[in-house]
Amino acid sequence: MLQAISRWLRGEESGISVPPMDGVLKPNNKLESAERLLVLPAVDNLATDGTSAYCSSGKVLYRLKREGDLFGAEPAGEFEGPVTCIATGPGRIAVGVQGKGILVFDGRDGWRQHDLPSPLSSCATAADFCPDGKLIVCVGSQRNAASDWKRDLLENGHTGSILSIDESGRIETLRGALAFPYGIIAHGVDDFVYSESWRYRLTESRGSGVVLADLPAYPARLARAADGGLWLSLFAPRRQLFEMVLREHDYRREMMSTIPPSDWIGPELNSEGGPDQPLQAGSVRQMGIIKPWAPSRSYGLVVKCNPSGHPVASWHSRADGTMHGITSVLEFGDDVLVTAKGANTLLRLPREAEA
Amino acid sequence: MRQMIRRWAVAAALVLASATAVQADNQGLENPRSTDFHESLKGKKVVFVPLSMGFDLTEGWAAVMRQQAKRLDYSFEIRDPAWSTDAGTRALSQLITEKPDLIVLHNPDIQSYARLIKQAQSAGIKIVQINLESNSTSDSYVGADWTEIGEQAAQAVVDKCDTGKGVSTKIAIDTGVPTAASDVFQLNGIYRVLKQHPAIQVVSQQSTEYNAEKARAIMDTVLQQHPDLCGAIGIWDNQDTGTASAIQQAGKSNQVFLVTSGGGNKVGCENVDKGLFNLYISYNVPLQGEILNEEIARLLQSKSAAGEVKTMYFTPLTQITKANSNPRNCWTLDDLK
Amino acid sequence: MNDTLTRLRYRMFSDRMVGELLSKSWIDSAIPAFFLLIVVLAASLLTTDFWATGNLGDLGRQVAEFGLQGIGLTIVILSGGIDLSIGSAFALTVLVCLVSMNVLGLPVGVALLATLATGFACGLLNGILIGYLRLRAFITTLVTLVIYRAIYDILFPRLASAIVGNTPDSAIWDFVGFGTVLGIPVSFVIFALLAFLLHIGLSRLRPGWRLRAVGGARRSAHNAGINVKRTVCSAYVASGLLTAIAAFLFSARLGSTGADTGIGLEISVLTAVVLGGVSLGGGRGAVGNAIIGAVLVLILTNSLIRLALPGSVNQLLLGVVLILAVLFDAKWVKNRGKILNKLYVSPAYLSLAPRREANPDPYVLNDRLGATELIGLGEVEGPEDVILDEDDNLYTGTRHGTIERFWAPDYVRRETFAAVGGHPLGLNFDRDGNLLTCVGGMGVYKVAPDGTVAKVTDETNRSLLSIIDDSRLRLPDDLDVAPDGRIFFSEATIRYDMSEWATDALEGRGNGRLICHDPRSGTTRTVLRGLIFPNGITVCRDGQSLLFAETWACRINRYWFDGPKKGHREIFMDNLPGYPDNINRGSDGTFWVALLGMRTKTFDLAMRKPGFRRRMARQIASDEWLFPNINRGCVVHVSAEGAVLEVFWDRGGANHPSITSTCEHKGYLYMGGVSNNRVGRVKLEGADPTWTARSDYWEGR
């Protein structure tokens, strides 16, 4: 409230600030130097049912097998559209497929499809099973598909919702009007924690509400940690320029109507891209190198929080690195696995990370 | 016969006419002098430039002058320099361009306004100087004769402190602003008398710049150096409250004969009653105010040019001691408003 | 429709004036001057006959005395100190003057000398204590305030009667006090003369610069060799002398002095000086400020007296005004830099045609520059232009201000050919083999074959309507030599320096110009104005026209400087897909154009939205601004008619992300980039192995 008043007093000019990465979030190179286990195109959606780990790569669902100290991936299913989320429960696995809805496999009846009504079907961004068997699903947006997240961001989208689907397929809306929920940890229909990307915060369903606010990057999926805390992956950085463009309605509308989405000003999963990529002043290559602190459209960031929700450690890949676009993280046995979707790589964090 | 009737008719008519005339109410005659008097004063502008407002002398004069201004319907304004000679000269210079009809001037010293007074007079502005003179004379001066005050004060001290009369023959003099009329001419009067009584020793002569605290400090030091001080002459009661309090603190109120002078307001009289002042020479502010008023009225009416005829009136002095301090000699500001 | 409106609005109302005005050095005086105007207006409305000659003459005399003291205090504050003793010194000098005139009856000249000597002594004491003995100015002048006052208090009562008892009989004395020259008071004339001389001295002559240097940055001034102690001492002596002159005028006017002369004067003079815009921190201020402040304070106090307010209220009001002035001064000094940064960038409307993709597209990506030979990797920083001489040695400029020479044929041995300074940009040889170079930040320089550096020109004619002083050269970029020896060079922008050249991209306005220097007459003249970042220049083979690039407008123009078409200008190549930098001749009558960056759709859109760019410049850090994509560049081989023959890319962008200049020499193409740390060389298939630029220019072809 005080902030709102001071912002109104100071005028529009003051709102554009991105919290600096400091303290626990001080940048390092731990993600860039992490062990690279596998290369799979668009690798994403890590999940485990306790015994096996799963990930997706485009339309294919993979099971990860340990091979000594490393991992191998074997295909476990292929679908009609890109896999947008995976959730596992005892003996069950649920997969969100863009354009189709949720498919649940519980071993006995094969893959059973739960149709989601049309506006909800293309953007199931994250899902988690409750102990009582209900599936809680995050739908990022009703207007844009999951792969169109950038358009949703630039439209200031807030049509996301959180649904619960029970075994019979009945859908109940738990939350609505969210700004792209992209990660969830559910203990029950009234006890869950979710990340809201365009509002860069973590919220829980009970208690005071906001767990972590004003993150310096857009949060993606969450994962449980053995010590009761949680793992948070952040898939793209916030920048002053992006925040500014979100407020410049004239420029933004014209950009969105005349320029292809891949060339828009805004965050990306990686910094490759075509010739028409917008460049920021600090990202100019000087004397042959790009500085690590240069403004970059993509970034790699994983954060570990303790049970009370405070960050205690972070892993980064900076502007001069390539392991960007972290969309999911998973604790699997002794290992912490991370998918860098922007680099198509599955990473394992150094073992001394967990402590 | 016809002629007689005509004559009687005319006489009857006359008698009738005069009778009717006599029978109307007696409404008196218009007094042309009164009309003239009020006309010539109405709407004129009088400006008072004091040393500063906020103390008894100037507040008293201003109150009296304001009343006449109200009564006789001319404007009365005050330009207050707040003790600053520089501000006063500036105010006076401004007034010369503004050309009021009359300026009542209170000079901080005998030289500062001298040239400006001459300029104002040549510009046609009439000037009345009040209580503190300048070297330049103007249309009128109303105020104390400082030389006379000095002589009276010195005489009183000599009577108390000449050889064999008091505890010693030492006296102290505290002055105000060395270049003011109250200082230069009073000192002249004092020394005129003292020259005739060579036994009297002046052990200290310092200027206090009208500051009571400074006066107190000076008297303190003097008493420490000359514990057998017999008399003290101060040039103004407002600052000499300091001198008196130093004497009182040293417990020498009975020993040191303090003479001072002032406008004669109630506070001064009370100090005399309390024994702080032994002799108070009053120049009687209300009386000065009335005389001022008369001079203002006279000059505003007068057809002669500014500076053509210069007059002065040194107002009478009253010596106030414990014996004769009474309401007739002492005034308060409320009395005058 | 929206676009047309935007274009018209930005054509007609340019925002650049605000930023340029703020960057002027006299802006500090502008605000107090504005307040003075308001106060004068208010005073003339509230008080009748403000403009009467009597009143103005009076004001003039007061300004003379007060203003002189204000100037004296300004000089002291400029030196980084403060002088609280001016009130007491004033009283003392008045006393000396009046004693000389009234009491001793000395002639006016002698009295003046005596007064000046007293002022000199008062100032000297302060100067020695503060300048040579390094005592703190505030405390020291406070002490001298007390000392001088005490001396006055002791002497004055003894002399008072004598002073007021006599009037000097001198016509000159009366003339100084009351005379007028053509209706203007004499004291004001004296003051005006002194103020003018002091203004010249403080702003244009060395003593003034030294004074400001000492006040602004004492240690640096000392390191620069200025005698700090003597400068500080002389500041106080000057203040003492000016006080003495003011005292002289005062004595002539009033003819007497009182016990309260000069009391509180230091406060009023300080108020006046601070109100006028002199910064208390030191180093900033001018005579003009002192005068503005003095007039302001005098009009204020006079009006207050005239309004018949009680004297104490006047003091209170003056005190409040002083507090406000000091607060404002502090805020302004702190934030001026920030405000200027925010307001200076004034984007304009620039519309580029959408890129047509020809079929076949000559700009299709290739990797012909992927495997260049690298020369001087890590040894040269910022090789904006490269050139080779007749012995095949390679020359290039670096951002350290040197021109490096790499020896043929292997280009491994390197030496510093010349240390020029700045950042040498465009390079060209003239007919006699001298290396001409445009040095960013300095001007056009010439290096003889033996390495001696000489200046060719560093200024041009100033345009009348420009707020910025554009007679200086801020960013000369590239040059070329016409057959008769005239040097044509481009100045990329007049609004930004070398370090901020890319901010000009954000503006996209025509801030640049084409300039010609004629060595035969030694004159330099601006030929074309209002060009959008003119960059590369090359003289065409007809010897009468030249090509120049307008970088942000993505086009190359041709301009005739001689012959029947003299003065005519037309577009040579338009709607390039990138930003052209240097243009150089190639073999077979062709040209080489380096594109230092490529157009992006988002940036092109931003160039049509000046409001967006302005808000971007103000609201977010400069590191985050949207930028032309200079992480990718290419080299274009162009025919004499402007058709694209071939394009060379570095696909990976590791070696040559952005190329600012190319040079063809004996079958090889050499490249440099202003943000790069290497020079590249690639073999040209099928190019004439004997062709050099020198032969093309001077040996007829």
- The b-or-e profile of C82-100 (16+ CB within 10 A means b, else e) is bbbbbbbbbbbbbbbbbbb
B33-144+285-316 carries CATH number 3.40.50.620: no
Give every CB contact of residue C8 below 8 A, 6+ residues apart in sequence.
Answer: none
The answer to whether residues C515 and C463 touch, using CB atoms and an 8 Å cutoff, is: no
Long-range residue pairs from C164-169, CB within 8 A, at least 24 positions apart, any chain: C164/B109, C164/B110, C164/B111, C164/B135, C164/B179, C164/B184, C164/C102, C164/C256, C165/C102, C166/C102, C166/C103, C166/C105, C167/B114, C167/C102, C167/C255, C168/C101, C168/C102, C168/C105
The CA distance from C124 to C235, in Å, is 9
pLDDT of C151 reads 94
Which residues in chain C come in under a pLDDT of 70?
1, 311, 358, 700-701
The CA distance from C196 to C192, in Å, is 6
DSSP 3-state of A111:
strand
The CA distance from C665 to C684, in Å, is 10
State in Å, rounded, how far the first CA of chain C is from the last one: 51
- Interchain contact, C601 vs A279, CB within 8 Å: no
| CB atoms near residue B22 (< 10 Å) | 8
The CA distance from C557 to C547, in Å, is 6
Q: Percent helix, strand, coil in chain A (nearest 5)?
A: 15, 45, 40
Q: Among residues 24-63 of chain C, which lie with CB inside 8 Å of chain B?
A: 48-49, 52, 54-55, 58, 62
pLDDT of A354 reads 46
User: Could you tell me the CA-to-CA distances from C490 to A136, C315, C468 in Å, in that order?
Assistant: 66, 60, 18
Q: How far is A322 from chain C (nearest CA, A)?
A: 15
Taking contacts as CB-CB distances below 8 angstroms, the residues of chain C near B183 are 160
User: Could you tell me the CA-to-CA distances from C489 to C70, C439, C447, C482, C527 in Å, in that order?
Assistant: 48, 11, 16, 11, 10
Structure tokens that stand for C178 in this block: 């009351």
Taking contacts as CB-CB distances below 8 angstroms, the residues of chain C near A287 are 381, 675-677
Whether chain C lies against chain A with 3 or more Cβ pairs closer than 8 A is: yes
Q: Say how many residues make up chain A.
A: 355
Structure tokens that stand for A92 in this block: 């069950």
User: Could you tell me the CA-to-CA distances from A225 to A195, A303, A327, C149 in Å, in that order?
Assistant: 16, 11, 17, 81
Give every CB contact of residue C150 below 8 A, 6+ residues apart in sequence.
Answer: none
Taking contacts as CB-CB distances below 8 angstroms, the residues of chain C near A294 are 623
* Residue C7, Cβ density class (10 Å: 0-12 exposed, 13-18 middle, ≥19 buried): middle
Which chains are adjacent to chain B, needing at least 3 Cβ pairs under 8 Å?
Answer: C
DSSP 3-state of A23:
helix
Per-residue pLDDT reduced to its tens digit, B283-312: 889 999 999 999 999 999 888 888 888 888
Residue extent(s) of CATH 3.40.50.2300 domains in chain B:
33-144+285-316, 146-282
The CA distance from C61 to C251, in Å, is 12
Structure tokens that stand for C487 in this block: 């040097």
Which chains are adjacent to chain A, needing at least 3 Cβ pairs under 8 Å?
Answer: C
Residue of B82, B111, B115 with shortest CB distance to C164: B111
| CB atoms near residue A299 (< 10 Å) | 32
Q: Say how many residues make up chain C.
A: 701
The backbone torsions φ and ψ at residue A252, rounded to the nearest 5 degrees and listed phi first, read: -65, -45
Residue type, A119: P
Fold of B146-282: Rossmann fold (3.40.50)
Which residue of chain C comes nearest to B179, CA vs CA?
A: C160
- Find, among A103, A99, A91, the residue nearest to A137 by Cα: A103
Residue A31 DSSP code: T
pLDDT of C701 reads 41
Give every CB contact of residue B57 below 8 A, 6+ residues apart in sequence.
Answer: B131, B262, B263, B285
DSSP states of B33-100: HHHHHHHHHTT-EEEEE-S-SSSHHHHHHHHHHHHHHHHHT-EEEE---TT-HHHHHHHHHHHHHH--
The answer to whether residues C477 and C504 touch, using CB atoms and an 8 Å cutoff, is: no
Structure tokens that stand for B17 in this block: 């006419």
- Find, among B84, B80, B129, B83, the residue nearest to B102 by Cα: B129
Taking contacts as CB-CB distances below 8 angstroms, the residues of chain B near C318 are none
pLDDT in tens, chain A (355 residues): 565 565 555 554 555 788 888 889 999 999 999 999 989 998 998 998 888 899 999 899 999 888 888 888 889 888 888 999 999 887 888 888 888 888 888 777 677 888 777 777 788 899 998 888 888 999 989 888 888 899 999 998 889 999 888 888 888 888 889 999 999 998 888 889 999 999 999 998 887 788 888 899 999 999 999 888 899 999 999 999 999 999 888 899 999 999 888 889 989 888 877 777 888 888 888 887 888 889 889 999 999 999 888 999 999 999 988 899 999 999 988 889 999 999 999 999 987 644 4
Note whether ipTM > 0.90 here.
no
Q: How far is C121 from chain B (nearest CA, A)?
A: 25
DSSP states of C291-334: HHHHHHHHHHHHHHHHTT--HHHHHHHHHHHHHHHHHHHHHHHH
The backbone torsions φ and ψ at residue A226, rounded to the nearest 5 degrees and listed phi first, read: -65, -30
Q: How many CB pairs under 8 A join B and C?
A: 104
The CA distance from A55 to C470, in Å, is 64
The answer to whether residues B105 and B127 touch, using CB atoms and an 8 Å cutoff, is: yes
Using only C-alpha atoms, chain C has a radius of gyration, in whole angstroms, of: 33
The CA distance from C303 to C318, in Å, is 12
pLDDT of A355 reads 42
Q: How many CB pairs under 8 A join A and C?
A: 107
Q: Which of C627, C632, C676, C677 should we substitute to test contact with A (largest number of A Cβ atoms within 10 Å)?
A: C627
User: Could you tell me the CA-to-CA distances from C49 to B101, C46, C55, C119 in Å, in that order?
Assistant: 17, 10, 8, 37
- Find, among B107, B41, B91, B93, the residue nearest to B69 by Cα: B41
- Interchain contact, B79 vs C309, CB within 8 Å: no
The CA distance from C276 to C270, in Å, is 10
- Find, among A327, A322, A274, the residue nearest to A298 by Cα: A322
Per-residue pLDDT reduced to its tens digit, B193-214: 999 999 998 999 988 888 899 9
User: Alpha carbon B311 to chain centroid distance?
Assistant: 15
| Alpha helices in C464-609, H assignment, sequence order | 503-507, 601-607
The residue-averaged pLDDT of B130-137 equals 90
Q: How far is C631 from chain A (nearest CA, A)?
A: 6
Reported as a pLDDT band with limits 50, 70 and 90, residue B337 is confident
Taking contacts as CB-CB distances below 8 angstroms, the residues of chain C near A263 are 600-602
No. of helices (H) and no. of strands (E), chain A: 4, 25
| CB atoms near residue B329 (< 10 Å) | 17
The answer to whether residues C487 and C434 touch, using CB atoms and an 8 Å cutoff, is: no
Beta partners for residue C439, in sequence order: C424, C443
- Interchain contact, B79 vs C308, CB within 8 Å: yes
Question: Is the whole model's pTM more than 0.80, yes or no?
Answer: no
* Residue B214, Cβ density class (10 Å: 0-12 exposed, 13-18 middle, ≥19 buried): middle
Residue C132 DSSP code: I
DSSP 3-state of C369:
coil
The CA distance from B131 to B104, in Å, is 10
